[in-house]
Structure 1
Amino acid sequence: MPTHLSVWLGAICLALVPGWALGMGSCERIVATGVAGQPPYLWQDPDNPERLIGASAELVQLLADELGLKVDILASATAQQAEQEVISGRVDLLINTRLSVPLLERMDFIHPPLHEAPSVVWVAKGQHFGYLDRDDLRGRQGIRLEEALSPPFERFVQDELQLDTVPELSLAWSRLLEEQADFLLYERYRGQAEAVRLGLTDKLEVLAPAADTVGLYLALSHASVCNEAWLRGQLAKKLTQLTAQGTAVRLLSDNSQRWADQQLQKAADVSQ
Structure 2
Amino acid sequence: MPLIKTVVMMLALTSVGFTSQLKADSSCSGLTASGNAEYPPYLWRSPKDPRQLVGAIRYLIDDLAKETSTKISLIYSGPWGRVQQETAAGRVDMIAGAFFTQPRTLYMDYLYPAFQKTQTSVWFNTEHPIAYSEWSDLKSLQGMTVINNSFGQEFDEYAKSDLNISYVASLEQALRMLNAQRVDYLVYEENPAKAYAKQLDINNIETSTTPITEQALFLTMSQKSACNNQAFKHKLEQTLIQFAEEGRMEQYLERALNDWAMQTPK
TM surpasses 0.5: yes
What is the aligned length?
245
Inter-CA distance 249–30: structure 2 relative to 1 (3 Å threshold): same
In 2, Cα distance between the equivalents of 1:79 and 1:129? Answer: 29
Flag the 1:141–1:70 CA change in 2: closer, same or farther, 3 A: closer
| Distance change (3 Å), C-alpha of 1:90 and 1:195 | closer
Deviations 1:68-127 (A, max 9, x none): 333222221245654565556565323224445565344332012343443211123475
For 1:123 and 1:250, locate their aligned partners in 2 and report how far apart those are by CA, in whole Å.
31
- CA distance in structure 2 between the aligned counterparts of 1:105 and 1:169, rounded to whole angstroms: 27
Instruction: Give the superposition deviation at 1:227.
Output: 3.2
Aligned to 1:188: 190
Deviations, residues 193-220 of structure 1 (Å, cap 9, x unaligned)? 10121223x4332223320244443222
Decide whether the 8 Å contact of 1:189 with 1:252 is kept in 2.
Answer: no
Please state whether the residue corresponding to 2:65 is helix, strand or coil. Answer: helix
The structure that is strand-richer by fraction is 1
SS at match of 2:38: coil
Larger Rg: 2
3-state DSSP of counterpart to 1:184? strand
User: C-alpha displacement at 1:186, in angstroms?
Assistant: 1.7
Other structure's SS at 2:209 match: strand
- What SS does structure 1 have at the residue aligned with 2:75? strand
TM normalised by structure 1 equals: 0.70
Secondary structure of 1:185's partner? strand
Which residue of 2 is the match for residue 63 of structure 1?
Answer: 64
SS at 2:35 equivalent = strand
**Cα-to-partner distance string for 1:209-247 (whole Å, 9 max, x where unaligned):** 320244443222344443343321232232234345543
Q: Which residue of 1 aligns with 2:152?
A: 150
Give the aligned CA root-mean-square deviation in angstroms: 3.6
How far does residue 52 in structure 1 lie from its aligned partner after superposition?
A: 1.7
Structure 2 equivalent of residue 48 of structure 1: 49
> Tell me, what secondary structure is at the counterpart of 1:132?
coil
Provide the C-alpha distance between the structure 1 equivalents of 2:223 and 2:99, rounded to a whole number of angstroms.
16
Rounded to whole Å, the distance in 2 between the matches of 1:45 and 1:123 is: 30
Query: Would the aligned equivalents of 2:99 and 2:152 in 1 still touch at CA under 8 Å?
Result: no
What amino acid is the match of 1:208?
Answer: T
Amino acid at match of 1:36: A
Change (3 A) 1:250 1:223: same
Question: Which residue of 2 is the match for residue 108 of structure 1?
Answer: 109
The alignment partner of 1:230 has SS state of: helix
Deviations 1:151-182 (A, max 9, x none): 32123223333444455444543443455544
Q: 1:143 to 1:29 in 2, by over 3 A?
A: closer
TM-score in terms of structure 2 length: 0.71
Moved more, 23-32 or 181-190: 23-32
Given residue 196 of structure 2, which amino acid in structure 1 is its aligned partner?
E
CA distance in 1, matches of 2:70, 2:170: 38
- Aligned in 2, Cα 1:77/1:181: closer, same or farther, shift over 3 Å? closer
- C-alpha separation in 1, matches of 2:45 and 2:105: 27
Contact 2:101 2:152 in 1 (8 A): no
1:253-268 equivalence runs, <5 A: 253-264=254-265
Unaligned runs of 5+ in 2: 1-21
Contact 2:38 2:171 in 1 (8 A): no
